[in-house]
Structure 1
Amino acid sequence: MIEIVNELLSELNLDINDANTDLINTLVTDAQIITLSAVNSTKKIEDYADNQIFQRAVKTLATQLFYDRTLANGTATGYRMMVTQLQAQEEIAEDDAQ
């Protein structure tokens, strides 16, 4: 998770200091939990460590939480699109397993 936090600090052009690092770490953790719950709550975050769509969805949601902690207007369309793609991947994986 350290890597995604550092990447997001860079993408948001934030100074690397304890306050920013702690904040982004919290937002990334929240975004991971929310995204995992939306995609497949029976899996672990580690199961998506190499999934680029999952990682981008987490960054997207964490960024949105950074700018709007209450998500007053809901989640962004791009984030919902990525979650839909991840859900489809899960459905395909389930079909292949049967």
Structure 2
Amino acid sequence: MAIDAQALADSLHIDADSTELATLNDLIVTATELVKDSVAYSQLDNFTPDQLSAVPLFESAVKALATALYYDRTLSNGMPKAVDIMIVHLQGRLRGF
């Protein structure tokens, strides 16, 4: 299942007006691309949203990063440690290490 702005808003207890949902959707798109680029596994570009959802930890990494971006758009403290850990795990899993 692809990550949904409404579901993320619900999990963060954010009032889901159209502006907030649009913001969350943009952050989900950004987080998805950042995670894909950070994993650096070229085959991810060919995955459908359902296939990405089936990759263990992919959605968790995207949700965690989208949440971090929601509260700190510039990631002034860098990538959250939990996201770093999930990306390293994804790199190993996808590359067969």
Shorter-chain TM range is: 0.7 to 0.9
Q: Structure 1 pair 18/2, CA: closer, same or farther in 2 (3 Å)?
A: farther
Q: Unpaired segments of 5 or more residues in structure 2?
A: none
Q: Unpaired segments of 5 or more residues in structure 1?
A: none
Establish whether residue 31 from structure 1 lines up as the match of residue 35 from structure 2: no
Q: Structure 1 pair 63/80, CA: closer, same or farther in 2 (3 Å)?
A: same
Question: Where do 4+ consecutive residues of structure 1 move more than 6 Å?
Answer: none
Distance 2:53 2:9 in 1: 19
- Which fold has the larger relative contact order, with Cα–Cα distance below 8 Å and residues 6 or more apart in sequence? 2
Distance 1:36 1:13 in 2: 27
Q: Structure 1 pair 3/71, CA: closer, same or farther in 2 (3 Å)?
A: closer
Partner of 1:63: 67
Partner of 2:86: 82
What fraction of aligned residue pairs are identical, expressed as a percent? 29
Q: Secondary structure at the match of 1:79?
A: helix
Q: Deviations over 1:32-69 (max 9, x none)?
A: 00000111244225241222400000000000001110
Partner of 1:11: 11
Instruction: Give me the TM-score of the superposition, normalised by structure 1.
Output: 0.84
Distance 1:52 1:42 in 2: 15
Count of paired positions: 93
Partner of 1:54: 58
Structure of higher CA gyration radius: 1
